[in-house]
Structure 1
């Protein structure tokens, strides 16, 4: 009996010690700080595109009514792009000065553009506006402007 009791006592004490050690380990933890960094390359957006429908038929005359056309500014990209302004001027299709005809120049015309009151265009969306051209009434002979095809250049940024 003494051996069995001693053995049982050792088992009970060992089990209690293991539980105490194991139980204490369950509440222990390490503290630490972790960091990470990564870089994502941003892409460049596609340029805004501009489309102008044909001007209304008719002729421009000094001081006469202007002609208007619809303008559409489209963001073909995926992200939002800011529309700062729309500029329209009498110029060649690449924006270079119009090769004026003797006696008729860009100064004989007034041009303007208006676009919906939008400052940002979401990807794949567009905004609409109007381009208007009018012949100014100069205090000089403007016969050289008769029948002239006046090129308009529209740019957005």
Structure 2
């Protein structure tokens, strides 16, 4: 009987030790990791649209100054675009040299510095400014070619 009692004590002791080590319950789990990458496409800018109107008397050598009021618009449906610079020149389409009138050229005119506030323009927003144009007197040069000429201005915004 002492063999059986010793054996029972060992079984009870071993069981108690296992329960104490395992905290009385068994737990199992998996380890895991995870990550994710994705992409999206950013939009592109849309070219500003520029319109203008003019006020003032007709041009003549060293005569009246005309003032052009211009509006620069951000035509994008979403997003802000920054207007930092505006250059105005007497020039043909796309800034090409103006050669449509014989005896009259861009040298016969002085374009003032555009006045506007450099700013961020929200989608469909606008900025308004002004610029002047005057016909210059070129001593010793016959400027008759400029009579009744249609003088083109080219606006380039960036």
| Aligned-residue offset at 1:102 | 2.9
SS at match of 1:94: helix
Q: Given that residues 82 and 121 in structure 1 are in contact (C-alpha distance below 8 angstroms), is that contact kept between their aligned partners in structure 2?
A: yes
Whether 1:20 and 2:19 are equivalent positions in the alignment is: no
Distance 1:74 1:113, change over 3 A: farther
| Offset from partner CA, 1:89-133 (integer Å, 9 cap, x none) | 111233221124332111000113424222321222110101211
Over aligned residue pairs, what C-alpha RMSD do you find? 2.9
Please name the residue that 1:153 is paired with.
154
Q: Given that residues 84 and 118 in structure 2 are in contact (C-alpha distance below 8 angstroms), is that contact kept between their aligned partners in structure 1?
A: no
Q: Given that residues 89 and 152 in structure 1 are in contact (C-alpha distance below 8 angstroms), is that contact kept between their aligned partners in structure 2?
A: yes
Q: Given that residues 115 and 127 in structure 1 are in contact (C-alpha distance below 8 angstroms), is that contact kept between their aligned partners in structure 2?
A: no
Please name the residue that 2:136 is paired with.
136
Long gaps (5+) in structure 1: 1-9
Instruction: Point out the more displaced range, 71-80 or 117-126.
Output: 117-126
TM-score scaled to structure 1, two decimals?
0.74
| Offset from partner CA, 1:45-80 (integer Å, 9 cap, x none) | 221111112x11421111122101210001011111
| Offset from partner CA, 1:2-39 (integer Å, 9 cap, x none) | xxxxxxxx9xx99xx599344x85xx987765332111
Alpha-carbon distance in 2 for matches of 1:57, 1:117: 23
Long gaps (5+) in structure 2: 1-11
| Aligned-residue offset at 1:156 | 0.8
TM-score scaled to structure 2, two decimals?
0.74
Q: Given that residues 90 and 153 in structure 2 are in contact (C-alpha distance below 8 angstroms), is that contact kept between their aligned partners in structure 1?
A: yes
Instruction: Point out the more displaced range, 104-113 or 116-125.
Output: 116-125
SS at match of 1:144: helix
